[in-house]
Structure 1
Amino acid sequence: MAYKLGVSRPDLDIVDLPTPEEVFKVARIGPKELFKYAVGPSLIALGISIGSGEWLIGPRSVGEFGFIGVGWVILVSALLQTFYNVECARYVLATGESPVVGWGRVPPGWKLWVPLSVVIVLFAFIAGGWAASAGQGVYALVHGVVPPRGAEEPRLWAIALLVLVFLITALARRISRALELANWIMVGTILVVLLIIDLFVVPFSLWWEGIRSFFTPAMPPAGITATQIGALAGFTALASGLNWYILGHYRDKGYGMGFRAGYLSGLRGERRELLASGVTFPDDAKNQALWKRWYRLLMVDMWGVFFFGAIFGMLLPVILMAQAVQLSGEKPTDANVPTFVASALDAEYGRPMFYLALVMGVLILFSTQLGIFEAMVRVTTDASHATSPRLRRLIEGDPRKFYYPFMLVLLVIISIAIHLTLPQNLVNWSANMSNLGALIYPFLLIYLNRKLPRPARPRPWHYVVLVLNFLFFGFFFVNFVADLVGDPLITF
């Protein structure tokens, strides 16, 4: 038996959904097992989320323009993106295919959507602004001062951090699991230490102003452009319309039909089969019940971990930036925003706080670059492996033989890109390019998800929210293009 879904790709084989207990090898899924085994892809996404938007773009906007009129953009963006993530992950759970492969089922077919999607992801993220910004932090840690404008050494540190990403994946047995563990450590450390710093240095009035701004409808502050707001919206939470590029980790985690499709193993792991085409489940009572269980786990992972982590991860850095502005009497610039907070805390509280803030900045930006760098390689590997029988023969069915050489090629390209402009400019570019995805992928997702087996299909109002993603983030990309060729559509 086979299930026809879309065009230009093989029909999906039909087999039963696995049970969560079978996948995670436990007797039952209780609270302990939930967080020990089932939570995972959200942490990888959160490691990326608590990054450039939270440490660079959000604090840069608040530091210059204040909270009111900016905070509500953060909340709306996080809500829309989390919902969008759930809908992308729905497809992965129901078919075992990563989204970049699934797009190939949308008319006119994979020859358009798969290469185009790979190009968009690479074009959006290859600039390496996170590594470049983290390199500035490492320089300051080593030398005790912020780097001079145009210094070469921070770029060399950025390249070293990219090499570290390669080593983390190369030494892994199972790449997704290695990224989960790394993000458990980094994200946990980031949130706990930032909370302690904020409790120590940020007055209650700023805490309240930051929280209140999330729920205060107000016009954006005077002087801010729609391009700046678009960068904030694009990189609050994750990457707006391009969030799908990270959600293939649900396949590798074994969620739903991902367990039947295989995963990417590391160099130290056993060679694992990765299916070139997905599988799905029959529409019967047994599988309907299993689907509901998997969907509940997905909701916990996305809304319980990712959404609240993303909001908390934005609040803590922006209120710290607001306090740094008050302490220093200055405002951050594109050139100094990666180290602005550390410098302000240094002047007020001394060297220990300076170094602690720098370590947090490096961890935040490195966790982002770790996830993004690996995801670019993963998306290209999944796309190439799924659509090219010739490549599968060449690599003898082992995706690692493509994954790691391509990662080295990408490392060289990013190393060149980070020499081209300021890190903040690279990040702003990526954020607005992410909004481009909102003009395309919500509609591809609507096409795919309405054709899933009946128990997995979204409710009608879900499609309305996907269209809201298109309208909200798509506007900011159109404005970004207008700004590139002339003037932004709106300046407040």
Structure 2
Amino acid sequence: MATNVPGTRVDEVVHEVPEVYGTPWEKAKEMPATLPFNWSNLWKVIGPGFIILSLSIGSGEWLMGPASVLQYGPFVLWIVTIGILTQAVFNMTCIRYTLYTGEPIMVGFTRLMPGPKLWAPIWIFISFISIGPGWASGSATALAAMFLRRMPQTADKPAVMTAGIILFLSVVIILMFGGKIEALLEKINKWIVAFIFGSLLILVIMFAPFSKWVEVAAGFFQFGKLPAGNVNWFLLAGLAGYAGAGGILNMGVTNWYRDKGYGMGAAVGYIPSLIGGKEVHVSSTGKIPPLNQTTLQRFKDWWRYSLVDQIGVWALGAFIGMFFCVLLAYAMVPGGTKIDGWAAAAHQAEGVGKVLGGFGWIWVLMIGFWVLYGSQLSNSETFVRQVTDVLWNTSPWAREKLSRNDIRRIYYGILLLFTIWSIWLFFQGSPLFLVAFMANAANLAFTVAGIQLLFLDRIYPQELKTPIWMKLVLVVLILFYGTFTVIGFGTQFFGLKF
């Protein structure tokens, strides 16, 4: 904590860094500066918010939200409201750590008692169960529908799975040739987000009556109202998990902030591509800036850009994306329809196609395809990047022996293992089930990470500590997602009844 001596200035304050597990942080000479905060510089600095928004406008919005609303009604959308609001605070609390140390938040979690020997395996396990090929599988249903010119059926399962595997492998190839991968994803996802939002806006204006707009909008504020009778709690718990981004996907934003050079991330390094990318030195530990007026001002500047990136781009975009996706489905698909099976991403297209014909059918299938394919691209990279950073920062053997101090060897080795794991998962269930399982795993990730964030706050000097109101929101997040963790997994796998 910071120790103030009467009569001293802030730039003379000594920051006593607490004892931590793992490699001690290095002491940096200063925090790198950003461009002055103004509107002309805004679009030059922000970017990670578009990556996380592209994966937010994914399975939660295109599959989980419509599936829940069509089955039960728009009143369940209050779950989304609490989810996105608490996740926004969660994201900013994670980003605080990366701005100050240059380390991704998951690496910070491994520093907590009793240390990385416990927390590194736990977070690698949670990461594995949180990410899979569900998005590629879902986008394959849209692609298959284009070629079949009809809704895929159970008999079309082999064709859908084959398309899904091909799409997933294309994601692997993109990541191999990506250059500085964060920059690649940022460029791709800005175009994907623009296409999705523009198309959805046009469609809901064309086809959704005003009464539907009001009914869906009101659902975001009907707090506490739950369906009665035979309820698929696994589905509703999945809606909570993917209301915004989803567990380790939210934490992945700190890896992108590090690679983009936010705060102390500029002093740490980034992960380059395997093919065509130069070898880049990535520090095995974070760097702590001195506590002085320069650090406080620069932290404030980085924090402002982060707020715009996360609140103005991600949180606002996640609300709008869920609203538009649900509204389109609610207006075009008959109530009571179960969005499941091997046509999960094609139901909205069927409804629009009945009005606009073949053009509308293809247009909406393209939206569904890009919604889910873009999510698969960002989510796959998020998983591999986080596991890579955990191994790089916590395991000298992995860093020095396995990779010979080239982080690309770890990154692309994990990518290979992830590819094998994902292809196996393709054969384990329908697209919606795979997505629902990963969404429920996100609930577990939020619960554990929320608790750890409260303890990690001890590393900051007093001037940079997390405000009390943000800590209270984290407590709400822990209770909210902890409850849905028990409900979702308990009802699906352990026979619990609610």
Q: TM-score surpassing 0.5? A: yes
1:37-84 deviation digits (Å, cap 9, x = unpaired): 22111111111111111000100011111112x121111111001110
SS of residue paired to 1:450: helix
Cα displacement (A) at 1:398? 1.3
Aligned pair partner of 2:346 in 309, 330, 339: 339
For the Cα contact (< 8 Å) 2:234–2:492, is it kept in 1? no
CA distance in 1, matches of 2:239, 2:170: 28
Contact 1:72 1:215 in 2 (8 A): yes
Structure 2, unmatched stretches of 5+, are: 1-13
The 1:240–1:346 alpha-carbon spacing in structure 2 relative to 1, beyond 3 Å, is: same
Q: Secondary structure at the match of 2:154?
A: coil
Structure 1 segment 126-137 matched on structure 2, within 5 A = 126=132, 128-137=133-142
- 1:451 correspondence with 2:459: yes
Q: Is the 8 A contact 2:217 2:323 kept in 1?
A: yes
**More deviation in 385-394 or 416-425?**
385-394
Q: For the aligned residues, what is the CA RMSD?
A: 1.8
Counterpart code for 1:86: M
Which secondary structure does the structure 2 equivalent of 1:296 belong to? Answer: helix
- Cα distance in structure 2, aligned partners of 1:398 and 1:241: 24
Q: Does structure 1 residue 147 correspond to structure 2 residue 161?
A: no
Alignment correspondent of 2:49:
42
Aligned residue identity for 1:130: W
Which residue of 2 is the match for residue 216 of structure 1?
A: 222
1:100–1:117 Cα contact (<8 Å) kept: yes
Q: Confirm whether residue 367 of structure 1 aligns to residue 381 of structure 2.
A: no
Q: After superposition, what is the alpha-carbon deviation per residue over 1:199-226, rounded to whole angstroms, capped at 9, x for unaligned?
A: 1111111112111221233512334344
Q: Distance in 1 between matches of 2:407 and 2:317?
A: 32
Does residue 34 of structure 2 align to residue 20 of structure 1?
A: yes
CA distance in 2, matches of 1:13, 1:2: 13
Q: Which residue identity does 2:144 align to in structure 1?
A: Y
Answer whether contact 2:80 2:240 (CA < 8 A) is retained: yes
Rounded Cα–Cα distance in structure 1 between residues aligned with 2:223 and 2:465: 33
CA gap 1:264/1:57 in 2 versus in 1, 3 angstroms: same
| 1:186 Cα deviation after fit | 0.5
Deviation at 1:92, TM superposition (A): 0.9
Paired residue type of 2:366: V
Quick one: distance in 2 between partners of 1:3 and 1:167? 46
**How big is the shift at 1:243?**
2.3
CA apart distance, 1:5 = 4.4
Render the CA deviation track for 1:100-131: whole Å, top value 9, x for unaligned: 211121000010011210111111213x1111
In structure 1, which of residues 167, 179, 191 is the aligned counterpart of residue 173 of structure 2? 167
In 2, Cα distance between the equivalents of 1:473 and 1:39? 29
**Among residues 402, 413, 420, which one is paired with 1:412 in the alignment?**
420
Q: Which residue of 1 aligns with 2:212?
A: 206
Aligned pairs for 1:431-450 (under 5 A) are: 431-450=439-458
Residues in 2 aligned to 1:432 and 1:163: alpha-carbon distance in whole angstroms: 25
* Secondary structure of the structure 1 residue equivalent to 2:74: coil
1:100 aligns with 2:106: yes
Tell me which of 289, 300, 315 is aligned to 1:307: 315
- How far did 1:330 drift? 5.9
- Measured in 2, the distance between the counterparts of 1:87 and 1:259 equals 19
C-alpha separation between the residues in 2 aligned to 1:352 and 1:399?
46
- Structure-2 residue corresponding to 1:292: 300
Match of 1:401 in 2: 409
Could you tell me how far apart the structure 1 residues matched to 2:78 and 2:360 are? 30
Opposite residue 8 of structure 1, the aligned amino acid is Y
Contact (CA 8 Å) 1:5, 1:12: kept in 2 or not?
no
**Taking structure 1 as the reference length, what is the TM-score of the superposition?**
0.93
Distance 1:478 1:3 in 2: 40
2:489 is the alignment partner of 1:481: yes
- Aligned residue type for 2:208: V
Q: What CA distance in whole angstroms lies between the structure 1 residues aligned with 2:108 and 2:440? A: 24
Distance 2:257 2:313 in 1: 15
**Partners of 2:16 and 2:179 in 1: CA distance:** 33
Residue among 185, 191, 196 paired with 2:197: 191
SS state of the match for residue 476, structure 2? Answer: helix
Q: Counterparts of 1:6 and 1:136 in 2: how far apart (Å)?
A: 51
CA contact (8 A) 2:233 2:491 kept: no
- Map Cα deviations across residues 424-482 of structure 1 (whole Å, 9 max, x no partner): 11111111111112331112111112322333211122211111111001100011232
- Alpha-carbon distance, 1:268 to partner: 2.2
CA distance in 1 between counterparts of 2:115 and 2:223 reads 42
Whichever residue aligns with residue 17 of structure 1, its letter is: M
SS at match of 1:251: helix
Contact 1:438-1:470 at 8 Å conserved across structures: yes
Whole-angstrom CA distance in 1 between matches of 2:446 and 2:188: 29
Name the structure 1 match of 2:63: 56
Q: Which residue of the partner structure matches residue 243 of structure 1? A: 250
Residue 363 of structure 2 corresponds to which residue in structure 1?
Answer: 356
Q: 1:117 aligns with which of 108, 114, 123?
A: 123
Query: What residue is the counterpart of 2:479 in the other structure?
Result: 471
Segments of structure 1 that go 5 or more residues without pairing to the other structure are 22-27
Which AA in structure 2 matches 1:102? G
| Structure 2 counterpart of 1:257, from 253, 259, 264 | 264
Q: Distance in 1 between matches of 2:444 and 2:131?
A: 13
Distance 1:484 1:203 in 2: 36
Distance change in 2, residues 1:9/1:486 (3 Å): closer
2:422, 2:257 → 1: CA distance?
27
Partner of 2:10: none
Distance in 2 of aligned mates of 1:125 and 1:240: 10
What SS does the aligned partner of 2:26 have? strand
Q: 4+ residue runs of structure 1 moved beyond 6 angstroms?
A: none
**SS of aligned partner of 1:263:** coil
Corresponding residue pairs, total? 479
Alignment of 1:376 onto 2:383: yes
Partner Cα distance (1:332, 1:33) in 2: 46
Q: CA deviation at 1:484?
A: 3.1
- Matched with 1:270 is 278
